Structure 1
Amino acid sequence: MDIQSERRRLLDAEGGDEDPTGLMSEQEAYLSKVKNRKLYLATFASVLGPMSFGFVLGYSSPAIPELTKIADPRLRLDDVQASWFGSIVTVGAAVGGLLGGWMVDKIGRKLSLMFCSLPFVFGFTVIIAAQNVWMLYLGRVLTGLASGVTSLVVPLYISEMAHERVRGTLGSCVQLMVVLGIMGVYLAGLFLDWRWLAICSSIPPTLMMVCMCFMPETPRFLLSQGKRREAEEALRFLRGPDAPVEWECARIEDACEEQGSSFQMSDLKDPGVYKPLVIGIMLMVFQQMTGINAIMFYAENIFEQAHFKDSDLASVIVGLIQVVFTAVAALIMDKAGRKVLLIISGVAMAISTTAFGVYFYLMSKMHSTTSLSLLMLDVQSTAGEEPHADLAWLALASMAVFITGFALGWGPIPWLVMSEIFPVKVRGFASAACVLTNWGMAFIVTKTFQDMMSLLTSAGTFWLFASVCIVNVIFTMAFIPETKGKTLEQIEATFRGTSGP
């Protein structure tokens, strides 16, 4: 092993003093010999899963308008059926989150990813071959199930493969590929009917299954199973031929031995387990309570009021904003840090949802004033249209700021932090709890949204979201540790209150 001599060489070149612990210098010496080409390849293969997940989420938007007008009465959706066609995915995804938590611990990260491509393909095949509405529902549940497994497994797979210098950037690619998939299906929906769109949507999961055949299992899972030789081979594949992988392997192995082999419910008393679990669950609650679903719900109406008559094109524009700023977040994640981006994101969303509340408040005032003047003066209804057009810029600006803020922080980072903070032995259980929380909150917020609007008014609902965004910022500042540049073992040690390995 050449770590010590390489460390001395780096210190001499930098004119630095010997580090008393030697840890940071050893890490630097090791990472200086790492080649990332095959790590990027393995990441690309795995993020075809989140792209498939994005296709599933986006599929209902172009498909529902066609299916509500289709000539075949067996497939035609009424309003209630269309609502279920869009939302039943969350039910499948919640189950998929639980299934994924069991699978990653029993059969590993790689096989879980390969298997979850099957319900993606089968689900879209059922939709393509659908003869009635129930077959459409079944297809959506199957693709939702696969999406739930994917949203859990892929962040874990990437975080356990990647080293600390690039883990934030590669982890952010999960959300980037989700929004790329959503935008891709919106674009394809401009040119293809719902059956051809389903055929296109089955391509990414098929590619993922093929590509993952040639990728390794994660070294941390292999070591947790006592497979030292296979773990070294996986590290050699991921780090390149020049890196002395025995050093990293020994470091991970020590951490695995310290934790013990399997998870017991009594482990929840350990601060190294319950602290990150609470943080992971709260991140998922706050992500869904920011109002992202409400903003997307209103997007079409807002564009129409701003005279964007083509709502399909408007959806593509929203998707493009998400893609651009999620890519920006990925590029700066390992430089700016997770905590700073979460705070910036929370502040931006608090400002934009407050502005949305002002917009709806002013609109309601204008509407009541216009109605009164129409009643008293019997003037033309066109007299009340100009104020709406004048205020459209406020809604458009608020939406742009909100989507930008969400894409920079609260979109990608909860998934990234979830994949970083849990000890190996509880990673399956804790990640399943987080994924179930996320999809459960998505379902609750979506289903209660109309009731909130009736109870609090549109303005009050968005001001409630603004309050939640402010609480997000306070929570981030008080409780979320910065994980930038730390190994997974160092992050675990932070929660245990010990020094990192």
Structure 2
Amino acid sequence: MSFREENAENRDLQKPFLHTGSWYKLGTRQSSLMSSTQALRDGSISILFCVLIAALGPIQFGFTGGYSSPTQQAIISDLNLSISEFSLFGSLSNVGAMVGAIASGQIAEYIGRKGSLMIASIPNIIGWLAISFAKDSSFLFMGRVLEGFGVGIISYVVPVYIAEIAPQNMRGTLGSVNQLSVTIGILISYVLGLFVNWRVLAILGILPCTILIPGLFFIPESPRWLAKMGMTEEFESSLQVLRGIDTDISVEVHEIKRSVASAGKRATIRFADLKKKRYWFPLMVGIGLLMLQQLSGANGVLFYSSTIFANAGISSSNIATCGLGAIQVAATGISTWLVDKSGRRVLLIISSSIMTVSLLLTSIAFYLEEIIPKDSALSNILALVSVAGVVLMVVGFSLGLGPIPWIIMSEILPVNIKSLAGSIATMGNWLVSWVITMTANLLLTWSSGGTFLIYTIVAAFTVAFVALWVPETKGRTLEEIQFSFR
């Protein structure tokens, strides 16, 4: 046997296989690879089940956001509310979400990701019951604030939980399930709102959280949180369940332990510490993306899509809104499939570029409609162009700027500042969301063309922000991503 052949055989004999953590000889390579495939399959099923349970939270999130659209006229009529009172009702979920976002990081830090989702479910259930049995505006407003509080916690905890349990090659796809579930929740509320009254719709809003609470007992806690809390046995057991019972997890265990050890268990982080580049840079990227996501005006357009379609001359605006919701779900589903193939950064640039072009097209169409006679053929064409622009904007948003900022936020924040920084980023997102939803209707009343021009400028700035500042995180472990900022 030659020297080269002998070395090749030795290398083969020393290859570890993902079976029981043992060393296998060359002759057993085929059966070992088959065992590895089975183990990975079992782990994938376990992770998928965990993600589907956690996704009930974002479905609740979307249902809360979409509830006000199909119920506006009925609630105003039944409870004798003014337009301003109903606008306040719609915006109070954002106010509650800001409070929930502030608390979310600390709650998730001290009682874990699963405990946080359980706590978030309780005010959601109470809030929906308060709305369903409301006799006046006080119960209506109280229920909306409680819903918002729960949604604020959910919006931070679910992306973090998914990022912490997912293997690096599936993290983008599984992370996108968060936003996909939000869009599904919105669509469900739109469709059900066509057939049931607002009180029944509120009762149906309880279902996601009533399923989520028992479901949490069947999924493991985040292994990275367990490791940070010093629960070594629970940490390794949780990771083993998530990766498959026959999978060798020793390398990943070592990486997570090293990352946690360098961060320090329960390290106290002050605002002054955020001045260090290893902290302020990922925080700036996370906050910037989440705020630009809202400043692009997507939620304002979605919340008032019926008004926009009516302004464009569409008679069945509620049905058109349901169609827009379905398109959003489909586009977000495409993003879920693409995000681990093309990468986060590329999708963000494509997404914000599509939004820039479509928003500019819509703005020009609305400006021209104001100066062209309403009954002319050109006016009808411009109406179709403006509707197409809105649809294309929603598609662009759903491909990247909708789901990916939440993924990146959960990936890049160092473990020892995740609770503080995550709360700040999530609160910033909800604060801007509240501003956009409060001003969008007023801006559309002022000038539809001017409103879309403002959103165009923000979308164009987003392209530059992503190109200059946002790192690519595809194919890297959380520990590798966070270490790179050092």
Work out whether the TM-score is over 0.5: yes
Q: 1:5-404 to 2 correspondence within 5 Å? A: 5-6=16-17, 33-34=39-40, 35-70=43-78, 75-261=79-265, 262-265=267-270, 266-296=272-302, 299-304=305-310, 308-366=314-372, 370=373, 384=375, 386-404=377-395
SS of residue paired to 2:118: helix
**Contact conserved, 2:369 with 2:383, CA < 8 A, in 1?**
no
Give the superposition deviation at 1:256. 0.5
What is the Cα deviation at residue 277 of structure 1? 0.3
Structure-2 change in CA distance of 1:183 and 1:412 (3 Å):
same
Q: Distance in 1 between matches of 2:65 and 2:14?
A: 47
Equivalent AA in structure 1 for residue 230 of structure 2: G
Q: Structure 1 residues 297 and 145, CA, compared in 2 at 3 Å: closer, same or farther?
A: closer
Q: After TM superposition, give the deviation of residue 306 of structure 1 in Å.
A: 5.7
From 433, 439, 455, give the equivalent of 1:465: 455
Q: 1:98 to 1:217 in 2, by over 3 A?
A: same
Aligned 8 A contact 1:128 1:195 in 2: yes
Question: Which letter maps to 2:16?
Answer: S
For residues 403 and 169 of structure 1, the distance between their equivalents in structure 2, rounded to whole angstroms, comes to 20
Q: Which runs of 5+ in 2 are unaligned?
A: 1-12, 28-34
Identity %: 37
- In structure 2, relative to structure 1, the CA distance for the partners of 1:303 and 1:462 (3 Å cut) is closer
- Corresponding position of 2:416: 425
Specify the code of the residue in structure 1 equivalent to 2:247: A
Instruction: Please give the TM-score of this superposition, normalised by the length of structure 2.
Output: 0.90
Q: Is the 8 A contact 1:93 1:148 kept in 2?
A: yes
Residue 499 (structure 1) aligns with: none
1:233: Cα distance to partner?
0.7
- What is the identity, as a one-letter code, of the residue corresponding to 1:460? G
In structure 1, how many angstroms separate the alpha carbons of the residues matched to 2:119 and 2:444? 41
Shift of 1:436: 0.5
Q: Which amino acid aligns with 2:71?
A: A
Q: Is the 8 A contact 1:68 1:78 kept in 2?
A: yes
Matched, 1:493 2:469: no
Kindly tell me: are residues 355 and 328 of structure 1, through their superposed partners in 2, closer, same or farther at Cα, counting changes over 3 Å? same
Letter in 1 for 2:322: V
Q: Deviations along 1:424-450, whole A, 9 cap, x unmatched? A: 111111111111100111122233446
Q: Deviations over 1:166-213 (max 9, x none)?
A: 110110000000010000011111111111111111001110011011
Q: Partners of 1:195 and 1:454 in 2: how far apart? A: 30
CA offset digits 1:89-131 (Å, max 9, x no partner): 1000000101111101111111001111101111111112212
- One-letter identity of the residue aligned with 2:56: L
Residue type matched to 1:223 in 2? A
TM-score, normalised with respect to structure 1: 0.87
CA distance in 2, matches of 1:224, 1:105: 9
Shift of 1:3: 9.2
Is the contact made by 2:14 and 2:23 (CA closer than 8 Å) also made in structure 1?
no
Is 1:414 paired with 2:388?
Answer: no
Q: Contact (CA 8 Å) 2:349, 2:466: kept in 1 or not?
A: yes
The correspondence of residues 469-488 of structure 1 with structure 2, limited to 5 A, is 469-488=459-478
Give secondary structure in 1 for the equivalent of 2:17. Answer: helix
CA displacement, residues 234-288 of structure 1 (integer Å, 9 cap, x when unaligned): 0111111111123311210011101122132143133221110011111112111
Can you list the C-alpha shifts for 1:3-46, whole angstroms capped at 9, x where unaligned? 95239999x99xxxxxxxxxxxxxxx999953211111011111
Partner secondary structure for residue 104 of structure 1: helix
Report the Cα distance in structure 1 between the residues aligned to 2:334 and 2:444, rounded to whole angstroms: 33
- Is contact 1:339-1:476 (8 Å) kept? yes
1:303-347 alpha-carbon deviations (Å, 9 max, x no partner): 336654222211110100100000000011100100000000010
Post-superposition Cα deviations, 1:395-428, rounded to whole Å, max 9, x if no partner, equal: 1110111000000000000111111001111111
> Is the Cα contact below 8 Å between 2:130 and 2:140 reproduced in 1?
yes
* TM-aligned CA distance change 1:403 to 1:167, over 3 Å: same
Deviates more, 1:461-470 or 1:487-496: 461-470
2:63 partner amino acid: F
1:26 corresponds to: none
Whether the aligned pair in 2 keeps the contact of 1:346 and 1:470 (CA below 8 Å) is: yes
Q: Is the 8 A contact 2:355 2:456 kept in 1?
A: yes
Give runs of aligned pairs for residues 449-460 of structure 1, distance below 5 A. Answer: 449=440, 457-460=447-450
AA in 2 matched with 1:36: S
Query: What is the deviation of 1:472?
Result: 0.7
Q: Secondary structure at the match of 1:6?
A: coil
- Looking at structure 2, the residues matched to 302 and 64 of structure 1 have their Cα atoms a distance apart, in angstroms, of 16
Q: Which moved more, 1:140-149 or 1:238-247?
A: 238-247
Distance 2:142 2:453 in 1: 37
Distance 1:114 1:178 in 2: 18
Counterpart residue type for residue 61 of structure 1: S
Report if aligned partners of 2:301, 2:308 keep a CA contact under 8 Å in 1.
no
What do the CA deviations read for 1:331-386 (whole angstroms, capped 9, x no partner)? 111001000000000100000111111012101222xxx4xxxxxxxxxxxx7454
Shift of 1:452: 5.1
Point out the more displaced range, 298-307 or 264-273.
Answer: 298-307
1:447 matches 2:438: yes
